Structure 1
Amino acid sequence: MDFISLVNRYFQTLTAQEREIIGYLQQVQDYSGLTAQSLADACFVSRATISRLIKKLELDGFAELKFLLKNFRQESNTTLEKTSVFEEVVQSYHMYIDQIFEKLDLKNIVNLLLETDVLYLYGTGNEQKLEVETMRHVFTALGKRVVVFFDKGEYDYAKECFKENDLLVLFSYKGESPEGIAILKDSQLYQLKRLVFTQTSQNTMAQLADYRLYVPTESVQTPTRLTYEVSTTFYFIIDQLFFDYKQAIGGSYDTSR
């Protein structure tokens, strides 16, 4: 795994201080003389803090971190950055929305929502939590009882209330969130159903769920080389579910879709 992919995978679990260290590392031009102590001194932290960061990234030691950093710098120096043009993003979204509307069958998900007594929602990151709030808002307006989890602690508090006709919905782009995976594994002990919104089926969370919705997004690299996901398609899916569910409870749902 390359350095950027590694950081993206664990970014949500990093503290503000650890993220500052990552930011510093991305600015270093020459890693040949870098040591754990010199990194600690440059970031005004202790060596123990560096050790905790390495452990959190699941690396074997500072040498492995340094190896990834050297590859990262080589790629940065030899690869031209692709500039994301907004018009290209819009064109991609036209294609994604056409694919969703023409090919994605939401009938089973709508029927699942019709059978659901309580809808439990969880987002693995900040943007996903905004999408969760949108889904909470629209389905509460339709009379559905909705409970939102902010983190696994809130999930642990509420899980004893799970019933057979309840539905747990998780939003995740990459589908590799440690907390999301922990929730899905733990929820296997209960009778409720699990649905995951994610980019692809080739991830751990999708494989653990009972139901899946695959939603394409557009990835854009930021100046810090961290990936930003333009996730308008997630909101489109939520709106489509809202309208289809509204039709269904009004007795006019088209079951041929």
Structure 2
Amino acid sequence: MDLEQKVNQSFQQLNSDEIQCLNFIIEHKDIVSNSTLNEISKLCHVSASFLFRTIKKVGYSGFSELKYEIKKEENTLKGMTGQPENLNYQMQEDVDKTIKYFNTVHHTEMFRSIMEASRIFSYGTGWEQKMAAEKITRNFIYSGKFVTNFPALEELSVAEKALNEKDIVFLISLSGNNERIVNIAKDFKRRNIKMVSITQFGTNKLAGISTYNLYYYASEFHKPWHRSIVSLYILVELFSLHYKLFTEQLENGGLQNG
């Protein structure tokens, strides 16, 4: 299990400072693998003891084990030299298939529901999904829509009963089979609250419950649990731009409103 997977599994138990530290480590593995605990803590602007506790919180015995796992991952990737074309091709194929599938589906009804919603909310189940939810929040500002992003499942659970059928919720998950989010989605469906699921392509519980579905392709790479989710961010960007275009066409009389 690599660092990203450990963070995803522990995500709901992490606070914002811990997430910030782990995000730095994930984005700068080359630096971390050649630095000391004190050096990294200074770069993260936290104490060494805080960073040590954070590392243990996601399942490592300490900084040494974290460095060992990062170095092992680096060596695995180095052993794949001579195969970069395959990786590049697979990532490109994921993006191409995601865009192609998006363009085969009519999104007008979903766009109208978003446009008419009183409030819009978003939630991502893991690390990458949370970043995608935040991206939706930022993108929709340019369309005059304000999206409330729930950073933790507990916050979504607390707010759950306050939502009504005039609202719409984005639920972002890789597998679409996370039981806790599926149970919340079932409650939303019973109360006629519209949902947009964003999941990996394929049959899953969340997509089956949700009002609207968006899919992205995420191929496995050098480890069975290591997936590239670049197509997720492409999908969010594509979806946001198409929604903005839809609203602009309505304003300019290019579409029938009704």
TM range (shorter): 0.5 to 0.7
TM-score by length of 1: 0.61
- Partner residue in 2 for 1:243: 241
- More displaced, 207-216 or 182-191? 182-191
Q: Which moved more, 1:235-244 or 1:112-121?
A: 112-121
| Matched ranges for 1:59-70 at <5 A | none
Deviations 1:75-114 (A, max 9, x none): xxxxxxx948443233223333333333422524333322
Question: Which residue among 9, 13, 19 is the counterpart of 1:12?
Answer: 9
The Cα shift of 1:175 comes to 1.6
Shift in alpha-carbon separation, 1:194–1:11, aligned structure 2, 3 A = same
Taking the aligned partners of 2:253 and 2:139, their CA distance within structure 1 comes to 18
Q: Is the 8 A contact 1:138 1:242 kept in 2?
A: yes
Matched-pair identity in % = 20
List alignment gaps of at least 5 residues for structure 2. 14-55, 69-78
Q: 1:126 to 1:253 in 2, by over 3 A?
A: farther
Contact 2:7–2:58 (CA under 8 A) maintained in structure 1:
no
Q: Which has the larger radius of gyration?
A: 1
Pairing of 1:213-224 with structure 2 (within 5 A): 213-221=214-222
Residues 34-183 of structure 1: pairs in structure 2 closer than 5 A: 83=80, 85-104=83-102, 105-108=105-108, 109-183=110-184
Contact 2:95 2:217 (C-alpha < 8 Å) held by counterparts = no
Hey, what's the Cα distance between the residues in 1 that align with 2:186 and 2:217? 25
Q: Structure 1: any 5+ residue segments left out of the alignment?
A: 28-81
Contact 1:245-1:253 at 8 Å conserved across structures: no
Q: CA deviation at 1:204?
A: 2.1
User: Over aligned residues, Cα RMSD in angstroms?
Assistant: 3.4
- Measured against aligned partners, the alpha-carbon deviations of 1:3-58 in whole angstroms (never above 9, x if no partner) come to x8xxx79961598568348xx9xx9xxxxxxxxxxxxxxxxxxxxxxxxxxxxxxx
The SS at the match of 1:188 is helix
What code does the residue aligned with 1:111 have?
R
> Structure 2 counterpart of 1:157, which letter?
V
Q: How many residues align?
A: 190
- TM-score by length of structure 2 reads 0.61
Whether contact under 8 Å (2:189, 2:210) holds in the other structure is no
Report the residue type matching 2:214 in the other structure. L
Between the aligned partners of 2:182 and 2:243, the Cα distance in structure 1 is 28
Aligned-residue offset at 1:172: 0.9
